[in-house]
Amino acid sequence: MRFCLLFLVVTCSFSGISQEIKKKYLGVYSGEIPSYALELGEEVFQVQSAVIEIRLNPEGLLTEKVAAKEMKGTYRLTKEDKNSIYLEVRLDGQFIPENYVLYKKDKRLERKGIYPQPDVFLKKI
C-alpha cells in the first residue's frame, strides 16, 4: 500500500513539472520599456526607452531582445489559472530570475521589471 501511495505521489509531481504552454501562446511578443531613472550613489541617470521583443519557443526556451542586445534563456511554468499563466524566466548570465505573466484572453505578456526597471506589457505579433 505504501509503495502504491509513493508511486502515485512521484507520478503526480512529475506531471506537474512537465507542464508546457499551449502552442497558440508561443511566438513573438513585442513592446516598449518606458524610460526610467537609475540612481547610482548620488548621481541620477535617465535611461531611455527601448523596444523589447520576447520569443517564447517550445520546450521552455526563450529569446529576449532589448534594443540590439539579444539574450537566450529558459522559462518554466510556475502557475496556471483560468485567465493567466505565470512564468519564471532565467536568462543566461543573470542570477536573478525574471517573472512574466501571460494573459490568455488578450494574448499579452507582462514582464515584471527588476528594480529599477518598470513593468512592461507586450502584445503578441
Give a yes or no: residue 7 inside a domain: no
> What does the alpha-carbon distance between residue 31 and residue 52 come to, in Å, rounded to a whole number?
5
Give a yes or no: residue 15 inside a domain: no
Give a yes or no: residue 4 inside a domain: no
Give a yes or no: residue 12 inside a domain: no
Domain count, the chain: 1
Give a yes or no: residue 76 inside a domain: yes
Determine contact, residues 73/59, Cβ cutoff 8 Å. no
**Any idea which residue has 512592461 for its cell?**
120
List b or e across 45-62, with b for residues whose CB sees 16 or more CB atoms inside 10 angstroms: eeeeebebbbbbeeebeb
User: Residue 72 maps to which CATH number?
Assistant: 2.40.128
> What does the alpha-carbon distance between residue 46 and residue 20 come to, in Å, rounded to a whole number?
38
Residue 115 banded pLDDT, cuts 50, 70, 90: confident
Identify whether 97 is preceded by a cis peptide bond (ω within 30 of 0): no
Give a yes or no: residue 83 inside a domain: yes
> What does the alpha-carbon distance between residue 94 and residue 86 come to, in Å, rounded to a whole number?
19
Residue 115 phi, psi dihedral angles, 5° rounding: -45, 130
Please write the tens of the pLDDT for every residue from 34-65: 999 999 999 999 999 999 999 999 999 999 99
**DSSP assignment, residue 48?**
P
Q: Is 4 a residue whose pLDDT tops 50?
A: no
Q: Is 9 a residue whose pLDDT tops 50?
A: no
Give a yes or no: residue 79 inside a domain: yes
The boundaries of the domain holding residue 45 are 21-124
Residue 20 banded pLDDT, cuts 50, 70, 90: confident
Give a yes or no: residue 115 inside a domain: yes
